[in-house]
A = this chain, B = another copy of it.
Amino acid sequence: MDKPYVIGIDVGGTNTVVGIVDKRGQIQKSGGIKTGKHSRVEDYLGELTDLIKDLMKGTATKSQIKGIGAGTPNGNYFTGSIEFAPNLPWKGVIPFARMLEERVGIPVALTNDANAAAIGEMTYGAARGMKDFIVITLGTGVGSGIVVNGQLVYGHDGFAGELGHVIMRRHNGRLCGCGRAGCLEAYTSATGMSRTAREYLDMRPKDKTSLRDIPAEDITSKDVFDAAMAGDEMAKEIFKYTGEMLGEAFADFIAFSSPEAIILFGGLSKAGNLIMNPIRESMEKNLLPIFRNKVRLMFSELKESDAAVLGASALGWEVRD
């Protein structure tokens, strides 16, 4: 029997969003609950199950749904578990896929947010028809979903694709949330950009910039974006610095898997050419000659508000019946 729908679940630190999605990537119906409301995961899953059943009423029967895909922090595709997620209220290893499947009666697959984004781009977005590409998620952190030969790269333990944590500066690198220093994420995440802004303000006390109108500790990447768009030179340089670092990293990623495209996803990618131009220039400058002028740099083609749910839902097409 044909199963025309999947369900996507985006489990974020604050909100959990659920959508019923068709084969063209149209969200038929969606809703949400607060992730942090329940300290017991059983209670959370109870509320989530009620929401899923509500959404299905009048839209899709159980037999019309191919599968449920969930994108979660620290989600492990192989085990179906959320493992030691620092930003969720449930500690340790949560066998999320199995627990939800028992409650809803539909097969559930789970992966982390960046892998979900990559599957989403491949199924509905910028990577349709591509077999080799990398999605880089630029948000509070820097994540990645890597596709090789048309398959997501999970690695032997399900944890592959931690490209936010390759080392970009081996001496005196910035401390990173992972406990090491010099990681890509420490420079090119939204918080990394804020740090860059504060460093620039400190290092160049005489330079005029509208960023000085904001208390240094409060500067966000959005503030830098707004200033750059208004023509602020220092803000533009901060984007250039961030893009150059990303371009250096991308050149190394390309030496690894020679992708057809690298796709930017998430908050920072909204900065458009402010971030894309310096990335492209730096990437081409740093590439091995055989890779030059071959790799496409693109933005996600998933509508931002829907992207996380769409990405997760795409995993639903892949679950075994």
Tell me which of A65-73, A187-195, A247-255 binds B. A247-255
Partner of A259 from the list B156, B166, B169 (CB cut-off 8 Å) is B156
Known contacts A162-B288, A259-B156; A149/B146 CB under 8 A: no
Instruction: Please report the C-alpha to C-alpha distance between residue A151 and residue B131 in the assembled complex, in whole angstroms.
Output: 13
Known contacts A167-B286, A180-B286; A256/B156 CB under 8 A: no
Pair A255/B163 contact, Cβ less than 8 Å: yes
Please give the count of copies of this chain that the complex contains. Answer: 2
Tell me which of A36-44, A92-100, A289-297 binds B. A289-297
Residues from chain B with Cβ under 8 Å of A130 in the complex: 156
Known contacts A149-B149, A149-B153, A155-B132; A288/B180 CB under 8 A: yes
Instruction: Please report the C-alpha to C-alpha distance between residue A288 and residue B178 in the assembled complex, in whole angstroms.
Output: 7
Apart from A159-B258, A159-B291, A162-B256, 18 more pairs, CB < 8 Å? A146-B256, A148-B155, A149-B151, A156-B259, A157-B258, A158-B258, A160-B256, A160-B258, A166-B252, A166-B255, A166-B256, A167-B251, A167-B286, A169-B170, A170-B248, A178-B289, A253-B256, A256-B256
- Category for how many chain A residues contact B: 35 or more
Instruction: Please report the C-alpha to C-alpha distance between residue A257 and residue B166 in the assembled complex, in whole angstroms.
Output: 12
Residues from chain B with Cβ under 8 Å of A180 in the complex: 286, 288
